[in-house]
Amino acid sequence: FEAANGSLESINSISFRSARDSDGHGTHTASTIAGAVVENVSLFGMARGTARGGAPSARLAIYKACWFNLCYDADILSALDDAINDVVDILSLSFGPSPPQPIYFEDSTSIGTFHAFQKGILVSASAGNSIFPGTATNVAPGILTVAASSVDRKSYSNIYLGNSKILKGSSLNPLETKTFYGLIAGSTAAAQLQQQMQGSVSGYSTLSGFCKNNTLDHHTLIKGKIVVCTIEASTDNRREKCIFVRESGGVGMILIDPNAKDIGFQFVIPATLIGQEEAQELQAYMTAGKNPIARIYPPQTILKTKPAPEMAAFSSMGPNIITADIIRSPVAIEATAEQSVDYNIISGTSMSCPHVSAVAAIIKSHHPSWSPAAIMSAIMTTATVLNNNQQQIRRDPNGSQTTPFDNGSGHINQVAAMNPGLIYDFDSHDIINFLCSTGATPRQLENLTGEIIHCQNPLPPSYNFNYPSIGVSNMNGSLSIHRTVTYYGEGPTVYVGHVNNPTGVNVSVSSAELKFTKTGEKMSFRVDFMPFKKIGGSFVFGDLTWSNGIHRVRSPIGLNVLSL
């Protein structure tokens, strides 16, 4: 960082030449993993209760690889190198590249974490907050990639309109408007400013409702009013919009932001986020009324909401654009604050990642001899795809149906993950074979491993990689894949297989039952896929579950049928 930007001391911003945090991101992720139990905490009175990390007895080693939101490859690799040499058990990485995911052989995180995996260290990493299909990052086969989902509580900051209707908004902002104020659209204020400047500034009509800097009519129309703004892109700084509204004399802001309406933001003046349905109702009221007015109320928290969890709208999605045969890992919990606070609520896959890291730490303490892949398998195969209505988990904000490209293996079940029954294990040699089967060259493998590697001949098919999910990205006709499971339990047991067939594909398993006599025993099986219907070249999904009446070991299936 300093080689590119100069010394920390020359930069006019707060930072520390140590692992000490200055912006709250690292503090939040670290305390989510191993924070001590603290009673009676809250964020401005909201979410009051006892706070604790997922594994309070775990010990933390902190490595600062990023400075001012800039993560240089050299710093990432240096931090990973130090952590590996310090013999950590778990690596929790709440950072990642901007999509698209770079190829593994040129991505510092993929390279560094391969060496961690090789040394027996499990790596948990955030999938990213880029919303759209194919944007998931940190997806190398040795990484436990974590998406984000919601919890069973909502924080509503509702809008009361002058016609007595109430619009549902969301915010973690403790501020409220004490009375009703006039409403004005950001586009109206921008148009007025453009007229005053006699059209000399281009682009104002385009930026109109986005409430960007210098696009709002200062004081004339906005003073003393609540301004309605619109999100332009998911990367927009929402708090900044509120600052511009305040600087222009506004007393409040309503932000139309369908993809983030269930994320709690904090603002410098009373403000709340609404979705598309509420925006249409608000527009109808403002169009019909001569002097529309509204009042923003402070947040109210509703507990035990249903359905929950839902996939967060911002959470990056699959498929894995580098190796589509890898159906990604599990989902965790999503938990934004812009002020100096003692305790905070923050959303993002950066914050879901440490939940999984904590679960992995607890599993490691119970099973110290387990490999990173075994821990990964335990978390993935015990995850659930059902919400608290016992229906399939949906995706926010519209409740659309999810697939493993949204939620991977499912939502973590930390209790079941402690004792999964069966695990799918693999090592670094299996990863190399997998990469060879996807076309990796000796030069690329050397860049990843630091060694000269020659792929074996014949190559094992990529879909036979002993991963806890089953993915075939290019399926031409019938196909058989192989997996091996290891039993961890007490005494003899029998696991029975059950398949939910992907659309247009018949599936059979070579062994209807897997009979184990002792812990540590391995058994292999074959899964046969027989397509009978082509579904437009897109992936179809199902699952394979092994159960002995106590444990359920589930693997999602994703197939891209190209021909019958």
The β-bridge partners of 386 are: 392
CATH number 3.50.30.30 is the correct assignment for the domain at 154-302:
yes
Q: What string of DSSP letters covers 477-489? A: S-EEEEEEEEE-S
Find the range with the poorest average confidence among 69-73, 389-393, 395-399, 477-481: 395-399
- Residues 160-170 have pLDDT tens digits of 999 999 999 98
- Residues 63-91 have pLDDT tens digits of 999 998 899 999 999 999 999 999 999 99
The whole-number pLDDT of residue 64 equals 94
User: CA-to-CA distance for 114 and 99, rounded, in angstroms?
Assistant: 20
Q: Return left, alpha or beta for 214; rule: phi > 0 is left, psi -120 to 50 is alpha, else beta.
A: left
Q: What is the DSSP letter of 282?
A: H
The whole-number pLDDT of residue 198 equals 46
- Residues 417-439 have pLDDT tens digits of 999 999 999 999 999 999 999 99
CATH number 3.30.200.20 is the correct assignment for the domain at 421-426+466-563:
no
The whole-number pLDDT of residue 238 equals 86
Q: What string of DSSP letters covers 120-139? A: T-EEEEE--S--STT-----
Q: What angle do CA 318, 323, 329 make, to 5 degrees?
A: 50
Q: What angle do CA 394, 398, 402 make, to 5 degrees?
A: 30
Q: What is the residue-averaged pLDDT of the chain? A: 90
CB 382 within 8 A of CB 417: yes
**Residues near 42 by Cβ (< 8 Å), separated by ≥ 6?**
48, 49, 343
pTM of structure = 0.91
Domain boundaries, the chain: 23-149+308-419, 154-302, 421-426+466-563
Q: What is the DSSP letter of 258?
A: G
The whole-number pLDDT of residue 399 equals 86
Name residue 75's amino acid.
Answer: D
Domain topology for 23-149+308-419: Rossmann fold (3.40.50)
Structure tokens belonging to residue 5: 């930007």
Percent above pLDDT 90 for the chain: 71
- Residues 188-239 have pLDDT tens digits of 866 554 555 444 433 333 334 888 887 776 667 889 999 999 988 777 888 8
The whole-number pLDDT of residue 109 equals 97
**Range list of β-strands (E), 172-306:** 181-185, 225-230, 252-256, 271-274, 293-296, 300-303
Instruction: Name the burial class of residue 26, with classes exposed (0-12), middle (13-18) and buried (19+) by CB atoms within 10 angstroms of its CB.
Output: buried
Under the banding of pLDDT at 50, 70 and 90, the label for residue 331 is: low
Q: How big is the chain, counted in residues?
A: 564
pLDDT of 335 > 60? The answer is no
User: CA-to-CA distance for 297 and 169, rounded, in angstroms?
Assistant: 9
